[in-house]
Amino acid sequence: MREDLPKCEHLHLLQMACEKLGKAYRCRGGTPPSALRTSHAYVAKVLPQIVAEYAAWATKRPPVHRSRWMSSVRQLAGEIEVLAPSVEREGSREDNCEYPWRNGTGAVHAPCDEAFGGVIGLLADIGPIFHKVLRVAATDLAQ
């Protein structure tokens, strides 16, 4: 991460990359691209499957505590998905990495001032393997 940029900039790019990757693998599964244009919600469902597929064949397997590792992957994918402002989040979350929002008391929050502690914490835990798998998955699509 570039320290001179706010975290929301990094997270916006990560969210878009994960969304495009999810859509690409759905297309590979036979879904027509036209059916994927109207939503950004392709990360929480699809990304853990992509990670599991590539982790299954990686030379260095994921950590021994696989249930916990995959649980973290799913949690991270869910957090990345709701970074897109248009994704429904059951009314409980307004934070996103693109537009300002008001909290329950009416105070305005800007993405550039937010710490995004949940997703940043998960990235600190499993980010290196997660990023590596995403890179391999994206490269594989191009071959």
Partner 1 sequence: MLSREETAVVLAKAHMDVDPSITIVYRIHVEDEREDDFATPIHLLEVTEMTPEAGIVPVGFGARKRDGLLYPSVVVQITPGELERIQGGSLALPGGWRLDDRPIRPGN
**Chain positions contacting partner 1, by CB under 8 A:** 25-31, 44-46, 48-50, 52-53, 55-57, 61-62, 66-67, 70-71, 74, 78, 140, 143
- Closer of 5 and 141 to partner 1 (Cβ): 141
Q: Are 122 and 79 in contact (CB under 8 A)?
A: yes
Residue with tokens 């693998």: 25
Q: Between residues 5 and 58, which has the closer beta carbon with respect to partner 1?
A: 58
Task: Between 7 and 72, name the residue whose CB sits nearer to partner 1.
Answer: 72
Q: How far is the CB of 72 from partner 1 (least distance, A)?
A: 11
Q: Give the residue among 114, 81, 89 at the shortest CA–CA distance from 100.
A: 114
CB of 51 to partner 1, least distance (A): 9
What's the closest the beta carbon of residue 17 comes to partner 1, in angstroms? 17
Q: Please, what is the minimum distance in Å from the beta carbon of residue 16 to partner 1?
A: 19
SS3 47: helix
Which lies closer to partner 1 via its Cβ, residue 41 or residue 120? Answer: 41
Are 119 and 97 in contact by the 8 Å Cβ rule? The answer is no
State the Cα–Cα distance between residues 53 and 67, nearest whole angstrom. Answer: 15
Nearer to partner 1, 7 or 40 (CB): 40
Task: Please say whether the beta carbons of 19 and 98 come within 8 A.
Answer: no
Q: Shortest gap between Cβ of 96 and partner 1 (angstroms)?
A: 19
Tokens of 85: 């402002």
Residue carrying the six token digits 């800007």: 110
